[in-house]
Structure 1
Amino acid sequence: MTILDGFLFIAIFAIWAILIVNVILTIAGYAYYLKWSRTPPPMLPSAPPFVSIMVPAHNEGIVIVKTVQALLALDYPADRYEIIVINDNSADLLKALQQLHPDRNLTVVNTDKTNGGKGKSNALNIGLQHARGSVISIYDADNTPEHDALRYLVAELLSDDHYGAVIGKFRTRNKNATILTRFINVETLSFQWMAQAGRQQLFKLCTIPGTNYVIRRDLLEQIGGWDVKALSEDTEISFQVYARNYRIKFQPLAVTWEQEPQTLDVWFHQRTRWVKGNIYVVLKNAHKIFTKAGRHIRFDLIYFMSIYFLLMTSLILSDSVFVLSVAGVVHSDINGFSNGLWLTAVLAFVISTFVTITTEKSEMKFSNLLVIIAMYLIYSQMWLVVAAYGMVNYVREQVFHQQAKWYKTKRYK
């Protein structure tokens, strides 16, 4: 076996190990789905807590009205929640909404040149200063939560004192806009909500997404709010919750619909922000892997490290050898073996991913099977480019002591 074959064997082993972990998460997630589907929904107490819903809005004039209207229509006692929009140059449309609903707790906190334009974490910290609720809920400006979403989130949070936060499920509102949004729709169902369910089933572990969740006010104050250096403030706050011996619960009944990137450019910039943000969080908490304090987040730390470092390197090496061998530039004695494993990996990916979308009856169609196949061939390679680009940019920013910039995701009518 040559040195090249040795490296290729290690790369194949790493890819398969991570693929198997994802298949196990899918199986566990489906088991959680079956158990959850037979569980009665959580019920609010007769005297529900006061909730502060915070919506960071930076140049969100296109979508903010629809979002606020959905929040005003939530099936939660109107006098027991408030809506706080942290308005960073969004639009004067919010004033009109306040005038239309003078009897509702709708507050607009306007930022200025001194405290605005500094990212989502900064906006949330500003909103927290104005919040009155003992429970804090977060929604992005492009969300339209279903009317019972908040009720399920809060009821689940109150069902166990060990829950520091409860997260819901989010779906793609514009899934039929482009082939990219169709990819994202399947990605959301399989690699976000089903993976959350699998981690909940196996490890009682979840990661807070950026939207559609509730968190205890006193816990947030213990943490000190959101880390303004974290581009992935959701992952970072999740680790902080577990560090204080609280758990995060996943409640799929709480559904929100959000708008996803429709063009490659917008998707690329958004996902690059995610990659850089998650790398920051992993490196910030890496020292906890083998400590008692990090026992709750150990799986996530190892998983994220494997995805962003081991898997990315392995895929680049494997793809390079495959292309060079086809071109006749290099020769590998295990290339045929690796090609057989590659085909098996495609089947494992397609089958496990299709199983996840069977939990949504409207998604069980032949066209989505074709989308999943295309995702393996195209979308996963796009993610590889994003991961590599994000890592290079993160290293460059650290070397030259540059402040990471928050990229504003473009919205659509």
Structure 2
Amino acid sequence: MTDVDTREFSARTLFSRGQRITLTVIAAAIAIPLGLNLTLGIGPEPLWWGRMAIAATVVLYLAVIGFKLAMIAGSGRSSALHFDPGSLTVIADAALPPYTVLVPLYREATVLPTLVSRLSALDYPRDRLQILLLIEADDAETLDAAVTCATDPRFEIVVIPDSVPKTKPKACNIGLARAVGEFCVIYDAEDRPDPDQLRKAALAFRLSPQRVVCVQAELQYWNPWTNWLTRCFAAEYATNFSMTLHGMDRYRLAIPLGGTSNHFRTDALRALGGWDPYNVTEDADLGIRIARRGWDVRMMVSVTEEEANARLGNWLRQRSRWIKGYLQTWLVHSRRPYRLWREVGTRRSLAVHLTLGFATVTTLVNPVMWAMTILYLIVGPQPLEPLFPKYNLYGGVIAMLLGNALMCYTLMLGCVRRGLFAAVRVMLTIPLYWGLMSLAAYKALIQLLRPSKRHYWELTEHGLVRSEDTVETHNV
């Protein structure tokens, strides 16, 4: 049961009525003065609007960069929950609470045997562990594989009806209705969680106040050395989960959850209405809804390994879905900005905008700024000089040179933090990776604006890399 109207936070509708009115007013406030100037010579000239657009973009860049640097700096005094193996004996096996593991699957027959083996190895009392394999009704191959290999009584196969939206959060909601555990966790098909992760999460909840309703474990990739793309991807994850989210935890900001290894109090999750089936980053959305409810998310030092995408097309599909979901989540929680501010406060509401919305906007704007830089290098400053008075020029130089250098350096720090030493030098090429992110961002924006693709879940193919191909022999 739920005690919240989930329609209020649903991404089923792109814009609320208030947002449509606001966008119309803003468009009119720009178009009317421009039209008056072009036709009658009244009001600010187009050059003024261009300067203001550049100035706003520079401020946005500096704000996003400053926020990321502040979170990374704050991670040095992280308050993330950390438990030594010896402390896990505090709760005897007989006193451990029942736990439910939700595993949404679609076209994962290839990796299912390995997944079942990994989950079977979880160090948790057998009579207190429920593992729900959530398999779509039209996925006969995965269903057959599950029947064959998931014979342990802890595993239950839950068939998800073939209906729209066909998304991971819809499957998780159906699984949540079947969950018997006091706590529950999400794992993906390729996940390799620490065997003692459930024990650590149970202890974390035992030692935390009731307002802590979610504990997020760290994610990292087990195949960083497959190619250049996986090195960059692993560095990004290392920086995000080992530094940025630890900084957000320290400052008690609203944490956009990762798609896996987030552990919940089951009753609190039901009170929130579960996941939004129309949001393709249901995890990030849930993290914000938890904060709006006045509850907390904490980071926990326990690792779940995943498979990094080693193929560009696969990576673009996954990344565009993430960006599309971040935009969905930002729009949902910006429907009533004053209410968001009232519920979470100034720091948290600013963090929501900087994390979900403004950072994505800069990814979309990047190609424009790069194009102007290339134009400057080819033809000189004359064509662009009118757009860059001193305040734009100095701010833009700081954002482009110092900002990019610092972002590159933070990724190097993330590599060092995770022991990915051979990837440090690869970070000198990270602007190429940012270019790919902009490509994915435009794909995400196009899909978001198309009703037929707005809630479309682009499937990520797993099992593309063999474990024996991932060993790095030059990590010095």
Same fold flag (TM > 0.5): yes
2:370 to 294, 312, 319: 319
Distance 1:352 1:123, change over 3 A: same
Query: Residues 52 and 341 of structure 1: is their aligned pair in 2 closer, same or farther, counting only changes over 3 Å?
Result: closer
> Structure 1 counterpart of 2:212, which letter?
Y
Partner in structure 1 of residue 320 of structure 2:
272
Deviation at 1:117, TM superposition (A): 7.7
Residue number in structure 1 paired with 2:145: 93
Structure 1 pair 306/350, CA: closer, same or farther in 2 (3 Å)?
Answer: same
Q: How does 1:141-152 map to 2 (within 5 A)?
A: 141-152=189-200
Matched with 2:214 is 165
- Give the gaps of 5 or more residues in structure 1: none
Cα deviation digits, residues 380-399 of structure 1 (max 9, x gap): 121122223312321233xx
Aligned counterpart for 1:21 among listed residues 57, 67, 72? 67
> Which residue of structure 1 aligns with residue 236 of structure 2?
187
Match of residue 120 from structure 1: 168
Q: 1:243 to 1:5 in 2, by over 3 A?
A: closer
Higher deviation after alignment, 333-342 or 219-228: 333-342
Quick check: 1:300 aligned with 2:351? yes
Q: Deviations over 1:252-281 (max 9, x none)?
A: 2x2111112111111111111111111111
Change (3 A) 1:312 1:52: same
Alignment-derived partner of residue 108 in structure 2: 60
AA aligned to 2:144 is D
2:231 is aligned with what amino acid?
A: R
Work out whether 1:202 is the aligned partner of 2:251: yes
SS in 1 for 2:131: strand
- Asked if the contact 2:167/2:278 (under 8 Å) is kept, the reply is no
1:359 partnered with 2:359: no
User: For residues 2-401 of structure 1, what are the structure 2 equivalents within 5 Å?
Assistant: 3=48, 7-32=53-78, 43=88, 45-46=91-92, 47-88=95-136, 89=139, 90-99=142-151, 101=152, 104-112=153-161, 114-115=162-163, 118-160=166-208, 161-252=210-301, 254-291=302-339, 292-295=342-345, 297-303=348-354, 304-309=356-361, 311-312=362-363, 314-328=365-379, 330-332=383-385, 338-339=396-397, 342-360=400-418, 362-363=419-420, 365=421, 367-375=422-430, 377-397=431-451
Check the 8 A contact 2:416/2:424 in 1, yes or no: no
| Cα pair 1:143 1:257 within 8 Å, conserved | yes
Q: Which whole-Å CA distance do the structure 1 matches of 2:457 and 2:120 have between them?
A: 28
For each residue in 1:267-314, what CA deviation from the matched residue of structure 2 results, as whole angstroms up to 9, or x when unmatched?
Answer: 1111111111111111111134333224385133221221123x2454
Distance, in Å, in 2 between the alignment partners of 1:228 and 1:288 is 21
Contact 1:14 1:314 in 2 (8 A): no
Q: How far 1:36 sits from its partner (Å)? A: 5.2
Measured after TM superposition, the shift of residue 133 of structure 1 is: 1.0
Q: Which amino acid aligns with 1:391?
A: L
Question: In structure 2, how many angstroms separate the alpha carbons of the residues matched to 1:176 and 1:209?
Answer: 22
Moved more, 265-274 or 40-49: 40-49
CA RMSD of aligned residues (A): 2.5
Give 3-state SS (helix, strand or coil) of 1:290's partner. helix
Q: What residue is the counterpart of 1:409 in the other structure?
A: 460
- How many residues are paired up? 397
- Distance in 1 (CA, whole Å) between partners of 2:83 and 2:97 is 24
CA distance in 1 between counterparts of 2:91 and 2:238 reads 31
Shift of 1:211: 0.5
- Partners in 1 of 2:294 and 2:81 — Cα distance? 28
Distance of 1:320 and 1:407 partners within structure 2: 30
Deviation at 1:158, TM superposition (A): 2.3
Q: Percent identity between the aligned chains?
A: 20
Using the TM superposition, name which of 145-154 and 331-340 deviates more.
331-340
- CA displacement, residues 98-135 of structure 1 (integer Å, 9 cap, x when unaligned): 33x3xx311111235x3488110111112122221111
What whole-Å deviation, never above 9, does each CA across 1:320-360 have from its counterpart, x for those lacking one?
21122223183327598545753323331232222233322
Q: List runs of 5+ in structure 2 lacking aligned partners.
A: 1-46, 465-476
Counterpart of 2:168 in structure 1: which amino acid? K
Q: In structure 2, do the counterparts of structure 1 residues 85 and 374 end up closer, same or farther at CA, with 3 Å as the change threshold?
A: same
Answer yes or no: is the 8 Å Cα contact 2:81–2:298 preserved in 1.
no
**In structure 1, distance between residues paired with 2:378 and 2:338:** 45
Asked if the contact 1:54–1:85 (Cα under 8 Å) also holds between the matched residues in 2, the reply is: yes
**TM-score normalised by L of structure 2:** 0.77
Give how far 1:67 is off.
Answer: 1.6
Cα deviation for residue 319 of structure 1 reads 1.4
SS at match of 1:83: strand
Corresponding residue for residue 26 of structure 2: none
Question: 2: CA distance between counterparts of 1:153 and 1:37?
Answer: 9
Question: Aligned equivalents of 1:370 and 1:172: distance in 2?
Answer: 18
